[in-house]
Every structure is written in C-alpha cells, then in structure tokens.
Amino acid sequence: MSTAARHLIDPKSSGEIHTADPQRLIDIEYKQRAVAEFLESRQYDGLLLQDPRNFAWFTSGADNSRGGSSETTAALFITPEARVLMTGNADSGQIFDQSVPGLGFQLKERPWHEPRSSLIEDVCRGRSVASDLNVPGAHDVASQLVGLRNPLSAVECERMRELGRIVAHSVEATARHCEAGQTEAEIAGEVAHRLTKHQVLPERIQVCADTQRWRYPHWSFGDAEVDLHCSIAVMGRRWGLCAGAARTVCFGKPPVELRGAYHRSMLLQATGMYFSQPNWELFEIWNRVQRIYEKYGYPDEWQNADQAEIIGFFANEVPIVPNSEFRAASRMAIYWHPSIGAAVSGDTVLIGDDGFELITPMEGWPKLSIEVKGQRIFRPEILCREK
C-alpha cells in the first residue's frame, strides 16, 4: 500500500504546532490491538471505518465530518500492522496537523476532485474487508463494533466527566436565565450557544413548553411560548463522545400534578442509577425500574417513550429494554431519562466497580433526596422562579 508525504505551510508560531498526545497514542495503540484481535477472530484482512462515530472512537477523538455536517472528509483502513487515513488533498493538511498529529497514521491521498471511493476500492481490492458501512465487496460489521467501543477507555472516561459537567452546566444556566414568554426555539438557541462556546456540538436539544413533552416524547423545539413550566433536555458531543442531561424550570408554583409526577420520575431515575451495576444484564436493571412504575400506579407509562440507553460514541449504543441480555460493565455510561407525562428527568452516569458515578452534576441547583436500598441519592428538583 502506497503512502504520500504532504508538504505543509510552516506554522506562524510554536503555538500552532500540535504535538502528539502520549495518552491518545496509548489509547489508539490499545484500540489497534483490539481491532487486530477482532480481524483475526473473523478472518478479515482489514477494517474500513467511515462513520464519524467510529472514526472518533479509533482516533481517540478526531473528527472526519465537515464542520459537523453529515459530509465526511476521510476514512480509515486498519490492519494489524498499520492504520491508514484516506482523504483528499484539501483536507489532509488540517487532519494531520490538527486531528492526528504524531499518532502513527499513514496517509493515502487523492486530489480533491477525485472521489474517495476510488481510494476505498484500492484498499479493498483482493482483500477480505470488514466495514462499518455498506460498501460493495466488504462485509458489513457495524452491529459487531459495539463490543469494541465499550467499555470506555480510561482516557474516554475522563473526557466523559468533563463533557458531562459542560452539558449539565449549559442546561442549568439556560434554565436559570430563560423567561416565561420565550419560545422553545429561543431557549434552544441559548443552550446551543453555551455548548458551542465549550466546543460541544448539540447532538440533540429538546425544549418542551408546558405539556409538549406529554404529547410528543421526542419533541425537539418549535415556536410555542413557555407559559408555566419548561423542560430542557440536551445531549452534547465532544471528542466523539455523548453525554445527556435534563432539567425542569417552573415560573411560579408548580401544579400539584406536575410536582407529583416529577418526584415519581426522579424515584425511577434514582432506582435505575442505583442498579446500574457491572455484570448485570440490562433486563435485570430494567425489572427494578419497572417495579417502581407499577408500585406508584403507572404500570404502562414506560411504554410511551424510551427510558435509558448505554451511550458513548453513539447516542444509543444499547437501549435498556425488557428482555435485553446485554451485560453491563464498569466504564460503560448510561443516560437515564424516564418520564411520566410532562415530567422529564435526565442524567448520565458511569458504571464503576463500587457503584455508579454521576457525571452530569448539579451546580447550586435545588436537590431532591431519594433513598434506594438505604443509599441516599440526590436528584435535581424543579427550579421554581418568579414569572
């Protein structure tokens, strides 16, 4: 396989030179060994990655999307001995200078006006290739890669903690400053601005005015004005990783029905968090949550919307559903967001050997104390503000 050297413009200052991150290099080397074992066990010669989420996973945080759009600028071909980045000449300089400097990637380059598919055809020709997308002549193994992306590495866990803090802070700051009479879209713009300032891409934003969430569980935002209360739920992405958080703000005294439903949803969430334990199959965790729904008179409420999922480089790596035999493990992240009617909750935890770790913490936010199996768990209360 041929490689190409690229002559780049000298940087204006030493501050523009991106040196290799030793922790990233260790992370990537670990992943290449995991890919090598994956290929050997299935008798493949190489793995082709084009999906931005898998690209970010293998490169320990690089981005092959063009400005966060659905258009991609590069692909990876990985063998037990090499990791090759395939791209056009208009993008190779930026990728090697900014995204993967000194991290052991080789370059296979074509002029920008030639299709990347020709590069892909070159590396696939005469080889048995596994791919994360449907590519002619390659074997689609997208569904099998979840086991490579999970559990998260030590580097990824640290990044998740930082990302979780940013997401939670952005949601809470927006809830503290938004006003009754604003539209959902205006509030969504405010939280998006706060995320972007920290280089976090809004993977998903939901701003639900009053009863919007009850009617449409997957509502994003629109031109409806907030009157009495509002829930803000966000999933942010940075380094390819995702973390989610949700908070509720009420202008005036919360209606009794909303407060009751909200407190029940917090009990559901705390239960899910408590039982997010290593070596448990997901249906075992789910059964504990479902019992709370039944105990408090909402036996069918869970069927109206998804409740939780293992997250990481994919916003939904594995859904937590009845009968799922997928086994949880330490260093997996779960976004718990059970709901009852218009009452919304949402936080992300990391599973640890000794229990869960909340990575979307509350900062000066009112707290609700919940006890699960003798353990006190603090959850976010509804923030009450003057109208």
Are 65 and 187 contained in the same domain? no
Are 132 and 177 contained in the same domain? no
What pLDDT, on the 0 to 100 scale, is given for residue 68?
A: 67
Q: Contact, 38 vs 148, CB < 8 A?
A: yes
What pLDDT, on the 0 to 100 scale, is given for residue 16?
A: 52
Side chain identity at residue 277, one-letter code: Q
Are 23 and 110 contained in the same domain? yes
What pLDDT, on the 0 to 100 scale, is given for residue 219?
A: 87
Are 230 and 371 contained in the same domain? yes
Half-sphere exposure of 313 (CA within 13 A, CB side): 25
Are 316 and 234 contained in the same domain? yes
Tally the domains of the chain.
2
Backbone angles phi, psi at 100, to 5 degrees: -135, 50
Q: Contact, 379 vs 266, CB < 8 A?
A: yes
∠ CA 133-78-203, rounded to 5° = 50
Are 50 and 189 contained in the same domain? no
User: pLDDT tens, position by position, for the chain (387 residues)?
Assistant: 444 444 444 444 545 556 678 999 999 999 999 999 999 999 999 999 999 999 999 999 999 988 767 788 999 999 999 999 999 888 888 888 888 999 999 999 888 888 888 888 888 899 999 999 999 889 999 999 999 999 999 999 999 999 999 999 999 999 999 999 999 999 999 999 999 999 999 999 999 998 766 678 888 999 999 999 999 999 999 999 999 999 999 999 999 999 999 999 999 999 999 999 999 999 999 999 999 999 988 899 899 889 999 999 999 999 999 999 999 999 999 999 998 888 888 999 999 999 999 999 999 999 999 999 999 999 999 999 987
Joined tokens for residue 300: 């069918």
What pLDDT, on the 0 to 100 scale, is given for residue 8?
A: 43
Q: Write down the H helix ranges in 43-145.
A: 52-58, 89-94, 116-124
Q: CA 275, CA 283: separation in Å to the nearest integer?
A: 11
Q: What is the CA radius of gyration of the chain?
A: 23
- Residue 371: strand, helix, or coil: strand
Last residue of a domain, one of 124, 149, 174: 149
Are 235 and 371 contained in the same domain? yes
Last residue of a domain, one of 149, 170, 190: 149
What pLDDT, on the 0 to 100 scale, is given for residue 228?
A: 93
What pLDDT, on the 0 to 100 scale, is given for residue 3?
A: 44
Are 107 and 160 contained in the same domain? no
Q: CA 283, CA 288: separation in Å to the nearest integer?
A: 9
Among positive and negative, which fits the CA dihedral 277, 282, 284, 286?
positive
Question: Which DSSP state fits 102?
Answer: T
- Specify the pTM: 0.92
What pLDDT, on the 0 to 100 scale, is given for residue 2?
A: 41
Q: What is the 3-state secondary structure (H, E, C) of 275-304?
A: CCCCCCEHHHHHHHHHHHHHHCCCCCHHHH
Are 145 and 167 contained in the same domain? no
Residue 78 in any domain: the answer is yes
What pLDDT, on the 0 to 100 scale, is given for residue 213?
A: 63
Considering only CA atoms, which of 107, 104, 101, 106 is closest in space to residue 17? 101
Last residue of a domain, one of 102, 128, 149: 149
- The domain of 21 spans 14-149
Are 142 and 198 contained in the same domain? no
Half-sphere exposure of 302 (CA within 13 A, CB side): 23
Cα torsion for 250, 256, 261, 266, to the nearest 10°? 60
Residue 9 in any domain: the answer is no
Q: CA 177, CA 13: separation in Å to the nearest integer?
A: 40
C-beta neighbour count of 12 within 10 angstroms? 7
